[in-house]
Structure 1
Amino acid sequence: MEDIIVKGKNYKMPFSKGILARSLTAAGLKPSIAYKISWDIYENLKKENIKEIEKSELRRRVYYYLISHNYDEIAERYLLWRVFLEKKPLTILIGGASGVGTSTIAFEIASRLGISSVIGTDSIREVMRKIISKDLVPTLYESSYTAWKVLRDFNEGDTKKLYIRGFERHAESVLVGVEGVIDRAMVEGLNLIIEGVHLVPSLLKPKYLDNPYIIFIMLTVEDEDMHKMRFYARSKISERPKERYLKHFKIIRLINDYLVDNAKKMGIPVINNVSISKTVESCLNIITDRLREVIKFEGLNEDELIDEVF
Structure 2
Amino acid sequence: TLAQAGARAELAHRIASEVRAELLAEQRYTVEEEEVLARVRNKLVKKDAFVVGRLDKWRVLRESTEPIVVLIGGATGVGTSTLAADVARRLNIQSVVGTDSIREVLRRAVSPDLLPLLHKSSYDIKREDLRVPVEEDEMVLYGFRQQASQVAVGVEAIVDRGLKEGTNLVVEGVHLVPEIILNRYRDHPNVCTLVVYLSDEHAHRSRFYIRALGTAMRRPAEEYISYFREIRQIHDYIVESSTRAGVQAVENLSIENTSDAAVEIVTNRVSGIADRAGRQPSAMLLDAGTPRHGVPITRAKSG
TM-score range, shorter chain: 0.7 to 0.9
> How far off is 1:70 after superposition?
4.7
Q: State the distance in 2 between where 1:147 and 1:58 align.
A: 58
Distance 1:147-1:75 versus aligned 2 partners, 3 A rule: same
* Corresponding letter in the other structure for 1:91: V
Q: If the length of structure 1 is used for normalisation, what is the TM-score?
A: 0.80
Corresponding residue for 2:51?
Answer: 74
Alignment of 1:149-298 (within 5 A): 149-157=127-135, 159-204=136-181, 206-240=183-217, 241-292=220-271, 298=276
Q: State the distance in 1 between where 2:107 and 2:222 align.
A: 24
Higher relative contact order (Cα pairs below 8 Å, separated by 6+ residues): 2
Indicate if the aligned counterparts of 2:96 and 2:171 stay in contact, CA closer than 8 A.
Answer: yes
Give the count of matched residue pairs.
279
In structure 1, the residue corresponding to 2:2 is in which secondary structure?
helix
Listed as ranges, the gaps of 5+ residues in structure 1 are 1-22
Distance 1:111-1:45 versus aligned 2 partners, 3 A rule: farther
Q: Deviations over 1:146-185 (max 9, x none)?
A: 134443323233x231110100111111111110110111
Indicate if the aligned counterparts of 1:63 and 1:78 stay in contact, CA closer than 8 A.
Answer: no
Listed as ranges, the gaps of 5+ residues in structure 2 are 288-303
Q: State the distance in 1 between where 2:35 and 2:111 align.
A: 53
Q: If the length of structure 2 is used for normalisation, what is the TM-score?
A: 0.82
Q: State the distance in 2 between where 1:94 and 1:306 align.
A: 31
1:36 to 13, 18, 33: 18
> How far off is 1:106 after superposition?
0.8
1:94 to 62, 65, 72: 72
C-alpha root-mean-square deviation of aligned residues, in Å?
2.6
> How far off is 1:69 after superposition?
4.7
> How far off is 1:307 after superposition?
6.0
Indicate if the aligned counterparts of 1:66 and 1:74 stay in contact, CA closer than 8 A.
Answer: no
* Corresponding letter in the other structure for 2:96: V
> How far off is 1:43 after superposition?
6.0
Q: State the distance in 1 between where 2:39 and 2:108 align.
A: 48
> How far off is 1:45 after superposition?
8.6
